Amino acid sequence: MNAFHPLAALATAAALLALAAPQLMLPLRGYAGGVAAFGMLSLLRLQNPRLGAIPNQAVVRKPANLDALVAEVRLNERMGNRARRIEIAAGIGLALVFIQPLRNAPNIFLGIGWALATAYVLYVVAIMLLWKRPHPMPDGLGFGPAIEHYRRELVRQHKWVRTMWLWYFLPLVPGLTFVVAGSAVEAAGRGRPFWPGAVMMVVLMAVLMAAHRTTGGMARKLQSRIEALASVEER
């Protein structure tokens, strides 16, 4: 699945609804929350959530020698740094984008929603800058110390991924809820039905559940790699 597909699906669904029943469309502000949620899922896909770039069939394979181990560790470090940079850049960019709808919010619900959304993306940037700093492996380590360092890093990554629903997904929900509710209120003020807002909220929750399922797969692969490295010797 390509990283662009979730956003393309949202755009296609909105276009079809606009053509078939424009009276049911939410105001454009109502779809911004959906774009943010689908964008978050796309970022997870873009970050290549496969234990760095290690192929699936190699997750339980043990490194044969120090050179193979160092190559795997450095690859994992590069992919981790790439994911971190993506999150930081996306968070700063979204915070700048959210300023405009926050300033022009037509009702209190949208105002609260965009304020919470802005706080959320800045919170993610802070997490990446302060707590998810990489711990690169020092050069010159022998096979045993290198294995121990790598396993500690994988255990740390596993903890972050396993609890991602709590620190990454859950804080996003209040802002999205207020944005969708505010958009539904604005639509109702224009004489449009309320239920499309409820449908949008269900879609957003489905996206978050899909993202949570993705991170569950990431956690299982990390755990498999940690277990494979528990009893390995250089050959």
Note the pLDDT tens digit of each residue in 154-200: 999 899 888 988 888 889 889 888 888 888 888 778 777 767 767 77
Q: Is the pLDDT of residue 28 over 70?
A: no
Specify if 153 maps to a domain: yes
Specify if 91 maps to a domain: yes
SS3 content of the chain, % helix, strand, coil (to 5): 75, 0, 25
Give dist(CA 153, CA 73) in Å, integer: 10
Render pLDDT for 191-218 as a digit per residue (tens, 0 to 9): 777 677 677 778 778 877 877 887 888 8
Specify if 196 maps to a domain: yes
How confident is the model at residue 154, as a pLDDT? 92
Host domain of residue 33: 28-228
Specify if 4 maps to a domain: no
pTM of the model: 0.73
Task: Look up residue 61 and give its DSSP letter.
Answer: P
The token pair that represents 65 in the structure block: 């020698």
Name every residue whose Cβ is closer than 8 Å to that of residue 130 and which is 6 or more positions away in sequence.
none
Specify if 109 maps to a domain: yes
Specify if 13 maps to a domain: no
Render pLDDT for 98-121 as a digit per residue (tens, 0 to 9): 888 888 888 999 899 889 989 998
